[in-house]
Chain A
Amino acid sequence: MNKPAPQNLSELDRPNSYIGKTVPRPNLDRLLQGRGLYVSDIELPRMAHVVFVRSPHAHARIVSIDAQAAKKKPGVVAVVIGEELAAVITPWVGVLSHMKGLKSAPQRAIAIDRVCWQGEAVAAVVASSRAAAEDAAEFVAVEYEELEPVTDMRTALEAATPVIHASLGDNLAFERTFEAGAVDAALAEADEVAEAEFVFGRHTGVTLEPRSVVADWNAAEARLTIYQGTQAPHMVQNIAALHLGLEEAQVRVVCKDVGGSFGIKVHIYADEMATYALSKLLKRPVKYVADRIESFNTDIHARDHRCKARIGVKRDGTITAFEIDDLTGIGPYSMYPRTSAIEANQVVNLVGGPYVTPNYRARARVVFQNKNVMCQYRAVGHPIACSITEGLVDLAAMRIGMDPVEIRRRNLIADDAYPCGSPAGLRFELLSHHASLNKLLAMMDYDALRAEQAALRAKNVHRGIGIASFIEVTNPSAAFYGVGGAKISSQDGVAVRLDAQGAVVCQTSITEQGQGSESLTAQIVGSVLGVSMEKVRVILGDTDQTPYGGGTWASRGAGIGGEAALQAAKILRRNILDVAAAILQSQPSELDIVNDAVVNAGDGATRIDLRELARIVYFRPDTLPPGIQPELMATRHYVPRQYPFAFTNGVQASWLEVDTDTGFVKLLKHWVVEDCGTIINPQLVDEQIRGGVVQGLGAALFEKCIYDERGQLTNANMADYLVPMSSEMPDIDIGHVVSPTSESELGAKGAGEAGTAGAAAAVANAVNDALKPFGAVITEIPLTPQIILTALKRI
């Protein structure tokens, strides 16, 4: 029997393919041995350290700043205030043209005249060490005249509330309304209409490595090198150049190891801009490392939403309509350059997304406040939309006395209905809600859990099951930012070359913060080329070294960067086989590459090692036939064009116990079934999902930035702001359904945010399920003991 010819196999199914296999990430030993290089580790000659003097007030006029005493302190290089820095760097406004009506005020690297949140920088102290700068900062005398702060988003638009930026006329940053179908009629014909106000605690990413940057302006080269733990190096390059009056060619952004990102490090912050500008001003490297209080006060916050929502349902379980009125407070400025309207916009887009219900009305209002800025954090808008949607679905089920699984079965989009669209205008290529739900129920043994729950209730033990279906935006095209005028690329590029010893060097524009970008790139390139992964070295995070591209955010690395790697490797493979055919006096179609050697496609016999082929090409081209010009380097770029986003779907379930005496929730188990299309490395996908789930569990139970009525953040430290610890987290079982996107050859969609999208909704539904005998329904997170005991009327 003949072996199938290799060309009948897909590039990804070749022998020894790494696609779909769990292999350890390359270079983990560096991190395991403490030999990584995070920005906070970097030291450069003549490097100075900057510390920012920050406003203690949420809203105040700066009357005067006296830096004379500070300037005389030991080690001080300079004390710089807003006006002085404004000579080097221009202000910015965080708007995008496709967010119609979005407005914001000019924001500066260091405040001038007025501060708009507690933590806004008013002066920079640059000194020989961070300690010396901190010492001197104590002696910068700032006189403030306090202004009335706007803190409650519910009253931000009232006439009696001060307008934060007079030039804008009001405190409304953005409003979007949307209506599809006939909502009023659908609610009228419903047998039951359930409504609730869903409240979400403002929380933040808490990257374990605080934001850090080293900016190195070399006056002789007229070039700025920025070492920064960013998810999007080319975006930073563009923005730094734009506001420092430089060409992009004068700015290099280098991103080595990054100690956690989660969307926190995809933005550009005022203090980072100030650090770039200070380096240019002082003509020496300047390092800024945020301390933990600064992290809490200045890293973007997210999810500060209050949403009034309604659902109509018929007795047979048919959901007739969804209606939401969402309000969110984003701080005093729309963040730059991605804007702070995206989260509310996503909420409008995503509510009701898994369901067939055609009737949908939404309003979202985004208001300014004198609190820290809010912007995109892992799973932007998804946890809000999912908690609202799935909370409403459970409320509807409760009203009509239907099991939560059954009502979902009756309303989830059918698995054979694709391609199709949502009422909000989303386009779904191929989703698998029902297959995913079925798989989840089997994994968790739903019926047995229900029986266990009932048995335990009799013993006064209150456990709950919560289910949450979700959709996730991944692989964004230019529809996300490019169309709105932001120079944030939606393409990624990969260059692959065979080096002189037959190993492979691969440069990619996606970045690594631990997700596995390096691994997936090496797996794809190794598989396509027939080269072992150990021979593939991946270079990322350097605008001087890599092709131009977006980076790693919005669950795009594997789907977009991975496809670029696939296409580049295919070209290189073809080029290698062309040369091999010339050397071997054969035809490319008769040859293949397996295990680092060119072999006969037919019998697999080794013909020439890649090492030997490279030696001939690089050092003895004189022995090649005339007219042969080998190209052992290939570059390809990829950007999705057919669909604005590659939607994924999944479903999560939580099993937990509520202590009705103390209000504490014990998470017992969590399940996720997710469909991210082609899986490149199952272990990495599962770990992305687990990590994402735990961030969602933090939001569900613990995490909240607590502001007082004066706009003071009262828990800006790790002792008072709670994040999940290992002892509180459950084991998380993960299953997959695989519906590849046909837009790319790879077929991969994103997986990085799915866990965060649905975790809080599953937990909230489980808590309400546990509390069912008490008639208590909670639609607020975090579900602290206080919230639970209040709902139980125990306090």
Chain B
Amino acid sequence: MTAPHAIALQVNGERVEAFVLPRTNLADFLREHLQLTGTHVGCEHGVCGACTVRVNGEIVRSCLMLAVQANDAAVETIEGLSDSGEISDLQEAFRARNALQCGYCTPAMLISAQDLLKAESQPDRERIREHLSGNYCRCTGYQAIVDAVEATAKARKHREGSAP
């Protein structure tokens, strides 16, 4: 019951095999086993959202998911999303709008925002605020984040519209 389990999964496109204790949560696995420290741990009980990652395309709180549950899954973290360029425009919008201060909530905030932008092309400010409500930020007061997400949505729409 408490012996390490073998798991195999994709993390940011790379195959990873590991032995993990059944109690190890995905956040600790990513941070401590794989040194993917861009996934942050804020409350360890699924409220603050700082540990948000993508598992099989869906956003999850990695502190509420066990590493063994990620067996066979495809996990994406901020490191992977940064290197692939998938969210580079969103990151640039955050940078230009100073939509981060201490940066601790930021990786998860970006992942949650991208989740919204993939599902809806033109979310209004209220919709953005609602979608990001599971991601706490103590520094910014949220307005700059909402501005950056809104600007990214508009820019993407514009790019789509002008595509041949």
Contacts and interface: CB of A to CB of B under 8 A. Distances in A.
Interface in B10-30: 21, 23
A208 B39 contact: no
B153 interface: no
Interface string B82-101: 10000000010011111011
A36 interface: yes
A723 B97 CA distance: 23
Contacts of A448: none
Interface string A487-519: 000000000000000000000000001111000
Q: DSSP majority for the B interface?
A: loop
Nearest to B111: A34
B95 A723 contact: no
B96 A32 contact: no
B41 interface: yes
Contact of A41 (B37, B126, B141): B37
Chain A interface size band reads 35 or more
Nearest to B140: A691
A24 interface: yes
Interface stretch (B65-73, B128-136, B156-164): B128-136
Given A259-B40, A695-B138, A209 B104 contact: yes
Contact of B104 (A208, A291, A690, A719): A208
A643 interface: no
B137 interface: yes
Contacts of B4: none
A514 B101 contact: yes
A14 B100 CA distance: 30
A180 interface: no
A32 B82 contact: yes
A34 B107 contact: yes
B101 A719 contact: no
Contacts of A32: 82, 91, 94-95, 100, 103, 106-107, 110
A206 interface: yes
A719 B139 CA distance: 19
B50 A208 contact: yes
Given A29-B95, A691-B141, A695-B138, A35 B79 contact: yes
Given A32-B91, A292-B43, A719-B45, A208 B137 contact: yes
Contacts of B144: 687, 690
Contacts of A37: 37
Interface string B31-59: 10000111111111101101000000000
A762 to B, nearest CB: 14
B98 A262 contact: no
Interface in A503-539: 513-516
A377 to B, nearest CB: 12
B5 to A, nearest CB: 15
A64 to B, nearest CB: 30
B105 A208 contact: yes
Interface stretch (A83-91, A316-324, A598-606, A724-732): A724-732
Contacts of A724: 141-142
Contacts of A571: none
Most buried by A among B21, B36, B141: B141
By CB atoms of chain B within 10 A, which of A205, A259, A731 has the most?
A259
B102 A259 contact: yes
B79 to A, nearest CB: 6
A694 interface: yes
B138 A207 contact: yes
Given A29-B91, A690-B141, A261 B102 contact: yes
Interface string A6-48: 0000000000000000001100111111111110110000000
A687 B101 contact: yes
B123 to A, nearest CB: 12
Given A207-B102, A260-B138, 20 more contacts: A28-B100, A33-B38, A34-B39, A34-B40, A34-B78, A34-B82, A34-B107, A38-B40, A205-B138, A207-B104, A208-B102, A208-B136, A257-B104, A260-B104, A513-B102, A693-B141, A718-B45, A724-B141, A726-B145, A731-B143
Interface of A: 24-25, 28-38, 40-41, 131, 205-210, 257-262, 291-292, 513-516, 683-684, 687, 690-695, 717-719, 723-729, 731-732, 755
17 contacts: A25-B98, A31-B103, A33-B107, A34-B82, A131-B21, A209-B40, A209-B104, A516-B98, A690-B143, A691-B141, A723-B138, A724-B141, A726-B128, A726-B132, A726-B145, A728-B133, A755-B141
